[in-house]
Amino acid sequence: MLEERVRRDGSRPLVTWYDLDTGARVELSARTFANWVDKTANLMASIGFDDRPMVGLPLLVTDPGHWVGLVWAMAVWQIGGEVQADRREALDAVDLAVVGPTNTHPVPGVETVACSLHPLGLGFATPQRAVIDYAEVTGQPDAHWSATAADATPAFRAGTTLRTAGDIDHVPATPNRIALRVSAGDDPWALLETSLVAPILGGGSIVLLVGGTDDAVDRVLSTEGAQPVVARAQGPAPS
């Protein structure tokens, strides 16, 4: 569906991200978002993880709602892999770990990518030791490739929550421009379902809001013409 969106309506915004505390705003069209996804898939391939990898994304827990986290989740799924959205100490048998800027130490025994979360995807000002700087993704080829996954293929886990590739396909789609205010502790699956899967399946778009005041949120909603929603899992019940 992302490929179809790029072909049919690639220039329209898909993900718009705000950090209301700093004033940062990033808007990614479907085409630009898909390009980041392709480059991220190629980054995984370049370090040896291109065969349905299990990728730990503590990034989704420590920095929920950042557009880079959505790119990583989509890239893992695009190549038939599984996302584990748990804190670093709870990761179980992952091939690769992706962490945010607050703790860039490598996950013990696991190749680790650290993301600066610079609004424009730039790297760390100071080199980080023993980890791969996600900024290396910009040097990856734009070549698009994907792997099919059977409905029963595991695609997501967080704690005791499990989702398959088939569950992703059955997330209720949204054709609308929606806005989601993200808070620490939000459920990672609900965030991915609401902000990534539903808009891609339905041809809609998402405005992600981090930080700020209620008044600031109201101003963005008016400016963006977006309908506020709450991150709440709507797909099949956990197995």
Alpha helix positions (H), 30-164: 30-46, 59-62, 67-78
Percent of the chain past pLDDT 70, that is, above it, reads 97
pLDDT recorded at residue 148: 87
pLDDT at 65 over 70: yes
pLDDT tens track for 6-37: 999 999 999 999 999 999 999 999 999 999 99
Whether 235 is in a domain gets the answer no
**Can you give the residue range of the structural domain that contains 73?**
2-229
Tally the domains of the chain.
1
Q: Classify residue 89: in a domain, yes or no.
A: yes
- Rounded Cα distance between 119 and 104, Å, is 18
Q: What is the pLDDT of residue 3?
A: 96
pLDDT value, residue 208: 98
pTM: 0.95
> Does residue 239 lie within any of the structural domains?
no
Compute the average pLDDT of residues 140-164.
94
Q: Is 9 among the domain residues? A: yes
Q: Indicate if the pLDDT at residue 2 is higher than 90.
A: yes
Rg (CA), the chain: 17
What is the pLDDT, as a whole number, of residue 77? 97
Instruction: Pick the closest to residue 71 from 35, 116, 37, 25 (CA basis).
Output: 37
Give residue 233's pLDDT band: very low, low, confident or very high (50, 70, 90): low
| Res. 179: pLDDT tops 70 | yes
Q: Is residue 70 in some structural domain? A: yes
234 within some domain:
no
CATH number of the domain residue 146 falls in: 3.40.50.12780
